[in-house]
Amino acid sequence: MLKYAIATHNDSNTKAFTLIELIVSISITSILAVIAVPNFNEFIVQLRVDNEISQLHRMLLITRNAAINSGHKAIVCPLNTSFQCTGQWQNELSAFVDVNDNKILDANERVIKIRAEIDISDKLVYGKGRNKITFKPTGQLSGLANGTFRYCPQSYKKHSRGIVLARSGRMYQSSDIDNDGIDENRGNKEIKCE
């Protein structure tokens, strides 16, 4: 077995690093860490955004399928303490089948899925003044025209992503169409939360 230590004497059985080798290896490690840490933070943010968008997309698909399968409207929204929909999309989101069509989660209605609130420093917005998404039993959206969910991480605006919902009930995730590093919708508009 080899012993690694700083050599203090000249023994032919001892294998060791010299002080110069130790300083050089620490210097190289430090330089690599300085280069890698900022890129690692950006990578973690990108993973978080991608994960949030994927979870939201799955929740919307599950809710649409529940509306089609149950024959009743299904709603996705952030609920307040009175179980009414609010426009606070960054809070916990609930999906439920609205059997009596009163746009409120009642005790006899089935909750399909609950999604935890997003990171406190990030933003999740949906349309202007919209407080719910309602799918009809046909799978189409009820009410207003198309809408876009926009997820924007703080201090990393170029990693913002979105989900566009069409009136047909179909949806798609944004992508970087023009290869500038920023996601756009199919109309080539950049995803922004302002």
Of residues 167 and 40, the one with the higher pLDDT is 167
Measured between alpha carbons, how far is 95 from 115 in angstroms, rounded to an integer?
Answer: 9
Residue (of 181, 48, 37) closest to 116 by Cα position: 48
Query: For the chain, what is the domain count?
Result: 1
**40's tokens:** 């690692």
Q: Binning pLDDT at 50, 70 and 90, where does residue 2 land?
A: very low
pLDDT at 66: 96
Instruction: Residue 33: count other Cβ atoms within 10 Å of its Cβ.
Output: 10
Does residue 155 lie in a domain region?
A: no
Does residue 14 lie in a domain region?
A: no
Of residues 155 and 14, the one with the higher pLDDT is 155
Cβ atoms of residues 74 and 64 within 8 Å: yes
Does residue 151 lie in a domain region?
A: no
Q: Which domain holds residue 75?
A: 19-120+129-137
Does residue 27 lie in a domain region?
A: yes
Does residue 184 lie in a domain region?
A: no
Cβ atoms of residues 191 and 124 within 8 Å: no
List Cβ neighbours of 34 (8 Å cut-off, separation of 6 or more).
none
Residues composing the chain:
194
Amino acid letter for position 85 = C
The string of pLDDT tens digits covering residues 39-50 is 788 888 999 999
List Cβ neighbours of 170 (8 Å cut-off, separation of 6 or more).
none
Cβ atoms of residues 103 and 75 within 8 Å: yes
Does residue 72 carry a pLDDT above 80?
Answer: yes
Measured between alpha carbons, how far is 126 from 129 in angstroms, rounded to an integer?
Answer: 8
Does residue 114 carry a pLDDT above 50?
Answer: yes
